[in-house]
Structure 1
Amino acid sequence: MKKTTLVIGASLKPERYSNIAIKRLRRYNHEVKAFGLKTGKVEDVSIDTELMPYKGIDTVTLYLNPQRQKPYYDYIIGLKPKRIIFNPGTENPEFYNVLEQHNIDYEVACTLVLLSTGQY
């Protein structure tokens, strides 16, 4: 069963890892939602610029540096995801502590590597 993933920090630029992750997640038939600064589409995935009250989010994969994550803590926790993936450059011990207090699992990993090695 494929799980729904929310990509936070989604970019329309094809060279950005968030963009590559959206494409790869879709290639693996995962349902994908995306939030970013600019509206547009990456393949068949629309990027929302407003925080949507998504339901059934299994995984949130972050592509925001730690300083830019803080305004989204409550939003992410409110989605009640099963896990958060902190991709390279997004590592944030402060947020790890907050997630632990809310019993939300997290991984410091690369979404692209997890997909390519069958660990996603």
Structure 2
Amino acid sequence: MKKKTLVIGASLKPDRYSNLVIHRLIQSGHKVVAFGIKQGTVNGVQIDTDLMPYKDIDIVTLYLNPNNQKAYYDYILSLKPKRVIFNPGTENPEFYNILKLNKIDFEVACTLVLLSTNQY
């Protein structure tokens, strides 16, 4: 099943994991939208610098450290994703609790590994 994914912390730099994951998601046939601090395009995906009211987000995959996530808690909750993935370095127990209270599943995992092992 293909999932609409929002990559938060998307980077234009090809050596960044957020950039690599956009490529892998597209290769796997998933629909991808992205938010980052620098506007541009990665593998045909526009990186938005404004918080867009995306619809039907299945998964939010995070590439922001916990301190930088705080500014986006309400935004992520407003999207009502089915799942939030905390990639290595983004682990955030405070946000886990907020997600639990809002009945949103979360996972501490590497999106690239999930994709390569068919667990996405």
| TM-score (structure 1 length as normaliser) | 0.99
Structure 1, residues 6-43: CA drift from partner, whole Å, max 9, x if none? 00000000000000000000000100000000000001
Partner residue of 1:89? 89
Indicate the percent of aligned positions where both proteins have the same amino acid: 73
**Which letter maps to 2:36?**
G
> What is residue 46 of structure 2 aligned with on the other side?
46
Q: Comparing both structures, which one devotes a greater share of its residues to strand?
A: 1
Partner of 2:99: 99
Q: Secondary structure at the match of 1:13?
A: coil
How many residues are matched? 120
How do 1:46-85 residues align onto structure 2 when only pairs under 5 Å count?
A: 46-85=46-85
Taking the aligned partners of 2:53 and 2:39, their CA distance within structure 1 comes to 17
* Matching residue's letter, 2:110: C
Aligned to 1:103, what secondary structure does the other structure show? coil
What are the superposed Cα offsets for residues 75-111 of structure 1, whole Å, 9 maximum, x if unpaired? 0000000000000000000000000000000000000
> Letter of the aligned partner of 1:104 in structure 2?
I
Looking at structure 2, the residues matched to 73 and 2 of structure 1 have their Cα atoms a distance apart, in angstroms, of 25
TM normalised by structure 2 equals: 0.99
Query: How far did 1:3 drift?
Result: 1.1
Match of 1:108 in 2: 108
Q: Which runs of 5+ in 2 are unaligned?
A: none
Misfit runs of 4+, over 2 Å: none
Q: C-alpha root-mean-square deviation of aligned residues, in Å?
A: 0.4
The SS at the match of 2:58 is: strand
Residue equivalent to 2:36: 36
- Classify the secondary structure of the residue corresponding to 2:35: strand
Cα distance, 1:118 vs structure 2: 0.3
DSSP-derived class of the 2:9 partner: strand
Q: Give the corresponding residue for 2:16.
A: 16
